[in-house]
Amino acid sequence: MIQRLEISNFMSFKRLTLDLSPGVNVIIGENGTGKTHLLKAAWALAHAATARAKSPDQSTEDFEKILASNLIRLFLPLDDRLGKMHHHGATDHAIIAAQFTNTHRFSAKFFNNSRSVNVKHSPPPPHLPGEPVFIPTKEVLSFMKGFASLYNKYELSFDSTYDHLCLLLDLPEIRPESLHPKSKWAIEELERICCGRFHFYGGGKVTFKTENSEYSANAMAEGFRKAGILARLLQTGAIQPGISGPLIWDEPESNLNPRLMKDLVQILLELARQGQQIILSTHDYVLLKCFDLLMDQASGDHVLFHSLYRGDGRIICSDSTPNYLQIAPNAISATFADLTREHVTRRMGGLGK
C-alpha cells in the first residue's frame, strides 16, 4: 500500500505531498483541483512499481520507455507528448514518487522536452506488492464487449484505466477457497443491492441474471452496473483484502442513487478493516457524510479526509484529518449548508406573508 505521494511540477500540481491512511482515503475539492490527476498518479506509481518488481531482468532503458508510453496513455496529454504533462511555467523537472509501507520507494522524473522518464527505486521487497485497481468515473459494463480489441488497435478517447479495468473484469473467478470471507460477504451484499448478479461469459459479454430471468447488462440501471463492477473485481481476486494493491476509485457516487451510498460505504469500510487500502475522490455530500457517520475507530477504521484547494497560485492539500468537522475547506459541506439556509429562509419568508 502507498504511505506517501510526492508530486512536483506535474500536470496541475506545482508541489504536493500527501500522507495516506492504510485504510480509507477520501479526497475532496472543487473542479479543477487535480483530484483525478492525483488518483491516476497514485495508480501509475503503484502499477509501475509492481511491474518493475516482476521484471527485474528488463533493462532500465526499456522499462523507462514503456513507463513513458503508459503515462501518455493514462493522462492523454496534448499531441501525445510526455513534456505536455510538465507543469506549465515550471523550470525544474516533473517528479511523481510514492513511498510504500514495505520501505519500497519508486519515483519517475522527466522534463518538458523529455521522450522518456528517469526511474529511481529502492530494491524491490521480498514479497511483490499487489497490483492496484483503478475504477474510473464511467462504468464500463455497457461497452465492454470488444472494447479491449478496439483499444489495442485504434486511438480511442479513453484513458488506459478503462482498458485495464476491462481486462481485470474479464478474468475468471478465483477458486471459492481463495475468496476472502469478507469478499464473499461483500459480493452477496452487492448482489442483494442489485437484486441479481452480473454474469461474465468472456470476451466482454456481460449479462444480468436473476433467479428466473437473464437480461442484457445494458438494460440495467447504471448504478447497478457500477456496483456490479466492484462485485466482479472481488470475484476475480483483482481485489483481495490484505493482498491486492490499493483500490483507487474516481467518484464512486457517479450514477448511484443516494439511497445506495450507505450500503456502498459500509462495504468499503469492511474491506478496509481487512487490510484493503482505498483511495477515492468524491463531490457528493451523502457519500462524504456516510463515511463520517459509519466509520468506527473502535473497529479499527482508519479514514483520512484530504481537501484540495487553490491558494497562492497553486493547488494545496490542507492538513489531512480523520475528523469530518475539521475538513477545511470543505466545499461539499459548505454548499449543502448554503442550500439549507436558503431553504429555511424561503420557508420562513413564506410563513411571514
We report the CATH number of the domain holding residue 297 as 3.40.50.300
Instruction: Answer whether residue 70 shows pLDDT above 60.
Output: yes
User: Are 184 and 296 in the same domain?
Assistant: no
Grid coordinates given for 99: 513511498
Instruction: Answer whether residue 265 shows pLDDT above 80.
Output: yes
Largest CA distance in the chain: 80
User: Are 116 and 7 in the same domain?
Assistant: yes
User: Are 31 and 98 in the same domain?
Assistant: yes
CA distance 193 to 187: 10
Instruction: Answer whether residue 11 shows pLDDT above 90.
Output: yes
Q: How many domains are there within the chain? A: 2
Residue span of the structural domain in which 170 resides: 141-239
User: For the segment 122-159, what is each residue's pLDDT rounded down to a tens digit?
Assistant: 876 666 668 999 999 999 999 999 999 999 899 888 99
User: Are 95 and 158 in the same domain?
Assistant: no
User: Are 254 and 117 in the same domain?
Assistant: yes
**What is the predicted pLDDT for the residue at 352?**
59
Is-contact 178 237, C-beta < 8 A? yes
CA distance 259 to 187: 18
DSSP state of 247: E
Phi, psi of 173 (to 5 degrees): -70, 145
Q: What pTM, to 2 d.p., does this model score? A: 0.94
**What is the predicted pLDDT for the residue at 126?**
65
User: Are 321 and 179 in the same domain?
Assistant: no
CA distance 255 to 252: 8
Cα-trace Rg, the chain: 21
DSSP reduced 3-state for 317: strand
User: Are 98 and 167 in the same domain?
Assistant: no
End residue of a domain, out of 239, 256, 272: 239
**What is the predicted pLDDT for the residue at 84?**
93
